[in-house]
Amino acid sequence: MGPIVALTGGTGFVGRHLTVALLDAGWTVRLLLRRAPRHPQLATRPVQAVIGDLDDSASLRALVTGADAVVHAGGVIRARNRAEFLAVNGDGMGRLAAIAAAARCRRFVLVSSLAARSPELSPYAASKRAGEEALTRNGGAMTRLVLRPTVVYGPWDRATLAIFRAARLGLAPLLGGPGARLSFIHVEDLAGGLVAALVGGLEGTHSIDDGHGGGYPWGEAFDLAARATATRVRHLRVPAGLVLGLGAIVGGGARVHGGRPFFTIGKAREMLHRDWTCDGDRLQVPGWAPRIGLAAGFATTVAWYRAAGWL
């Protein structure tokens, strides 16, 4: 049995790929779960399960006791309000870090978000920054690594599926104004980078992308998505006021009915932000580099979507 890593968020899109990468690297993976894993990526994998969530201190103690490292990839991307975001992504993170430190875990890795760099944009971004700050306050003697991924895509992802569906319809909505750029990383490269950084003992806060300097203009990203779907797209500059207005209407309407909307005015501000690229803190680990460029990654992702009947 290899060293034990306690992993939260292991049933999510990123977390499932992290689980596979950690197992393949020889780690024993202990997952915090609300129920036994049934997803095809995990159903036959030899994982240890602790039933509970971030609100349950007893289950968190069971998760981290005896673990060599903790990887926190859990959290929420949809919530009814700012307080709900902070309760999970901020307070829940702090609770886990304090319990892990008390259990004398040696290492803690937080999978945060590039959005944490600009907490003023949205409640989600603010909650991801709050989680990073909670790790600093509660991490004790543990060595700490914070990873801030850019846009993550790949097989099984539903969030970036919208890009390919728009491209297939011939649409390329350009957001953020002229000069706006964003970066991407294939989920397998994210998982590989995290494992390499975990093994290598890297500390501090680092962003992670596919290594393409300066990221991609929105138009170029959609052109690559169009190539992957064998279509042509028409670039359409979307006014910021329209995006913000739709975010306010959709988000407000969902909250009236008690929902947890994904598209809100906060999400609209994130989408309109001009710079979602890595800066001088890009992850660098000896022996590791991202392998999958955006053109190839989009092509293989679209092939998977089509085989799965999603596109």
Query: For the segment 146-205, what is each residue's pLDDT rounded down to a tens digit?
Result: 999 999 999 999 999 999 999 999 999 999 888 999 999 999 999 999 999 999 999 999
Q: What is the pLDDT of residue 96?
A: 97
How much is the pLDDT for 238? 92
Read off the pLDDT of each residue in 4-8 and give the average, rounded to a whole number: 97
The pLDDT of 16-25, averaged and rounded, is 95
For domain 4-150+185-209+279-290, the CATH superfamily is: NAD(P)-binding Rossmann-like Domain (3.40.50.720)
Q: Where are the domains of the chain?
A: 4-150+185-209+279-290
Kindly tell me if the per-residue pLDDT of 286 is higher than 80: yes
pLDDT of residue 257: 67
Nearest to residue 31, comparing CAs of 68, 77, 1, 72?
A: 72
pLDDT tens for each residue of 229-273: 999 999 999 999 999 998 888 877 767 666 787 889 999 999 999
From residue 82, give the alpha-carbon distance in Å to each of 3, 94, 127, 135, 196.
37, 17, 8, 19, 34
**Which element (helix H / strand E) includes 291?**
none
Contact assessment for residue 41 and residue 16, using Cβ atoms and an 8 Å cutoff:
yes
pLDDT value of residue 130: 98
**Rounded CA separation 287/193 (Å):** 10
311 burial level (CB within 10 Å; 0-12, 13-18, 19+): middle
Q: What is the DSSP letter of 34?
A: S
Give the DSSP letter string of 53-115.
Answer: -TT-HHHHHHHHTT-SEEEE----S--SSHHHHIIIIIIIHHHHHHHHHHTT-SEEEEE--GG
H or E segment to which residue 300 belongs: helix 294-308
pLDDT at 38: 75
Mean per-residue pLDDT over the chain, rounded: 93
Q: What b/e string do you get for 185-216 counting C-beta neighbours within 10 Å, with b at 16 or more?
A: bbbbbbbbbbbbbbbeebeebbbbbbbbeebb
Extended strands (E) in the chain: 4-8, 28-33, 48-51, 69-72, 107-111, 143-149, 151-153, 171-174, 181-182, 184-186, 204-208, 216-217, 234-237, 275-276
Write the single-letter amino acid at 169: L
CA distance linking residue 164 with residue 99, whole number of Å? 41
Measured at the alpha carbon of residue 182, what is the angle toward residues 92 and 227, in degrees to the nearest 5?
120
pLDDT computed for residue 45 by the predictor: 84
Average of per-residue pLDDT across 264-288: 92
pLDDT 10s digits, 60-79: 999 999 999 999 999 999 88
Residue 41, burial from CB neighbour count under 10 angstroms (0-12, 13-18, 19+) = middle
Write down the pLDDT at residue 178. Answer: 86
Structure tokens at 98: 């304090």
Span 82-126, pLDDT tens digits: 999 999 999 999 999 999 999 999 999 999 999 999 999 999 999
Residue 274 pLDDT class (50, 70, 90 cuts)? very high
Q: Which residue has the tokens 């890593």?
A: 5
Longest dimension (CA), the chain: 56
Beta strands in 112-192 (DSSP E): 143-149, 151-153, 171-174, 181-182, 184-186
Asked whether the beta carbons of 133 and 112 are under 8 A apart, the reply is no
CB 203 within 8 A of CB 107: no
Quote the pLDDT of residue 212.
94
Whole-number pLDDT of residue 254 = 67
pLDDT reported for residue 11 = 87
In angstroms, rounded to a whole number, what is the distance separating the alpha carbons of residues 111 and 149?
Answer: 8
Enter the pTM of the model.
0.94
% pLDDT > 70, the chain: 99
What local confidence, expressed as pLDDT, does residue 162 receive? 93
Burial call 5-29: b when 16+ CB within 10 Å, e when fewer: bbbbbbbbbbbbbbbbbbbebebbb
- Reported confidence tier of residue 210, pLDDT bands at 50, 70, 90: very high
